[in-house]
Structure 1
Amino acid sequence: MGFNRSLLRFAGIASFSLLLAACSSKQVQEPDLPEHAYYEKAQQAFAENLPATAVKNLQDLDSRYPFGEFSTRAELDLIYAQYESGDYISAHSTAERFIKNHPDHDAIDYAYYMRALSTYTGSESLLQRYLDSDPSKTDSQELQKAFREMGDFLQRYPNSKYAPDGKARMIFLRNTIARHELQVARYYLKRKAPLSALRRGQAVIDHYPTSTSVEEALAITIQSYNDLNLTDLAQLNLSVLKNNYPNSPHLNKEGNFIPLPLPSDANPSFWYWVSFGLSD
């Protein structure tokens, strides 16, 4: 019994300590300036092209006046300030928080747009931003996420003033992702893994049918089916290629398919032989 009483006393003390910690973590910081002063300082930082300074002032406003007159406007401005300062992860997080907390706000379309734009811009590597390299040569997961988020924005708010820019970015993303899929498909063809190449080529045709990569995707599927000795399916895709791209460089004068060239170093890997060409 004494042990149980001690255990209960310890549990009570621990619960009280946790309660105190929780209360203290939610305490609002004492304001050093009036609410409008923080907001005006943030706007001045924007005017002087100092987004990082604007971030600090807006965060100070939010921590000191979380339910104040300027709090909602400050949240929206904070998304932009974080984006302009290059902190795309924080901008994305702030946009998502605004969407959750203010689903009926007049500027909710802006929050959805900035959420997608933050992912879009953040997916670009330093080389892509400063050396103008091809983003289709990098991992496409973040680009696909940006594509989904921008599509979500356009589906919800097709008449938003940000919609034209969103549509233009979706076209770029669609073509970039499709090029990336084809680059991976070509790699698999080089490694003599036609099933993997086929999946990538088919993904472009199925998911990005209006991209600029469909013609080459058809060529990859034809090559892959031929390599898999599935000649009927190869001929079916060849007919699609002929009907839609009669002047394709993948067709000779007689309309026959020109096999895709493979580099001389395209040696199969160990896993190719182990899996009978199903994996690489």
Structure 2
Amino acid sequence: MMKSYKAGGTRVSMRLKGAGLALALATTQIGLSGCMSDGGSEVDVLALAAQTERPDVLYNQGLANLEGGRLGEAAAKFEAIDRQHPYSEWARKALVMKAFTNYRSGAYEEAINAAKRYLSLYPGTDEAAYAQYIIGLSYWRQIPDITRDQADAARTAAAMREVIDRYPDSPYVEDAQNKLRIARDQLAGKELQVGRYYLERREYVASINRFKNVVDVYPDTRHVEEALARLTEAYYAMGLTGEAQAAASVLGQNYPDSQWYRDSYALLQQGGLEPRAGGVGSWFSTAARKLTGA
């Protein structure tokens, strides 16, 4: 019987072995009746079972707990295999499932640690791509709003890039690409926010550096339009009209119907100016080529 688990929009299939699961349940029943007759607690029974059951039985119990939503019990079963039968085939399978179970329960740091350990021990296995994907998903779930530090967005981007580059044929690539784009957009948005902060304080050089960084590092994000408009505004405020005209020109070449371009054009007209391309070899000509793909 096939049981499916889904993480981050990607379905991961796990096969529950019927015979193994039946044996696991039978073993638990026998142990429970024996220990309870001696006055032991149910906790003692479960602890004893974890110490004596075969790894395949523990694994199937873990899957059954996972399917039933008992994530803590599932994680404990997979941990027992990893601890009692290290470096076995069952330990390998249990380790990636422990990472997934921790991810499902919101224990993201534990999921990341388990997945990283899996990759260090078993980098060439079929599940390696999924372990890397779990790392990316765990960072993804921790990305805060744009006003806060974006370290987890950067980690998400790096982890998902690993999925794409190292496992290009894996079923996780499409979702990894989508989350990479969103994480990069988040990082660009943070740069833009900091740039606006400096611009409002009239710290123009600092703001210009941030706006240029948006264009240089994140040219495929939705924040480039505003970054170019803010460059026009910052240069114009500094009296560097040639640079302001060049920034507006790049904006107009790439986003001619943008409200940001109309606002920048109106700003230049206040001084009797209009957009004008930057000189060959300038930052503006390089930015224009980068954005157009020329």
Per the TM superposition, whether the score is higher than 0.5 is yes
Change (3 A) 1:211 1:251: closer
Q: Deviations over 1:50-80 (max 9, x none)?
A: 2222111111111111133411100110110
TM-score, with normalisation over the residues of structure 1? 0.73
Q: Give 1:123's aligned residue.
A: 143
- Point out where structure 2 has 5 or more consecutive residues left out of the alignment: 1-49, 270-294
Q: Give 1:214's aligned residue.
A: 224
Q: Please tell me whether residue 250 in structure 1 is matched to residue 270 in structure 2.
A: no
Of structures 1 and 2, the one with the larger relative CO (CA 8 A, separation 6+) is 1
Q: Give 2:118's aligned residue.
A: 98
| Aligned pair partner of 2:53 in 30, 33, 37 | 33
Q: Give 1:188's aligned residue.
A: 198
Q: Give 1:148's aligned residue.
A: 158
Give, in whole Å, the separation in 1 of the partners of 2:264 and 2:102. 58
TM-score, with normalisation over the residues of structure 2? 0.70
Contact in 2 for aligned 1:238/1:257 (Cα 8 Å): no
Q: Please tell me whether residue 197 in structure 1 is matched to residue 207 in structure 2.
A: yes
- Point out where structure 1 has 5 or more consecutive residues left out of the alignment: 1-29, 125-134, 260-280
Residue type at the aligned position of 2:132: Y
Contact in 2 for aligned 1:252/1:258 (Cα 8 Å): no
Give, in whole Å, the separation in 1 of the partners of 2:107 and 2:183. 21
| Aligned pair partner of 1:82 in 95, 102, 116 | 102
Residue type at the aligned position of 2:260: H
Give, in whole Å, the separation in 1 of the partners of 2:173 and 2:243. 40
- What's the C-alpha RMSD, in Å, of the aligned pairs? 2.0
Q: Please tell me whether residue 114 in structure 1 is matched to residue 134 in structure 2.
A: yes
Structure with a larger share of its residues in strand = 2
Runs ≥4 residues deviating over 6 A: none
Change (3 A) 1:165 1:252: closer
Task: Give the 3-state SS of the residue equivalent to 2:267 in structure 1.
Answer: coil
Give, in whole Å, the separation in 2 of the partners of 1:173 and 1:213. 13
Task: Count matched residues.
Answer: 220
Change (3 A) 1:63 1:258: farther
Q: Give 1:239's aligned residue.
A: 249
Contact in 1 for aligned 2:248/2:265 (Cα 8 Å): no
Q: Deviations over 1:243-264 (max 9, x none)?
A: 11222223449934379xxxxx
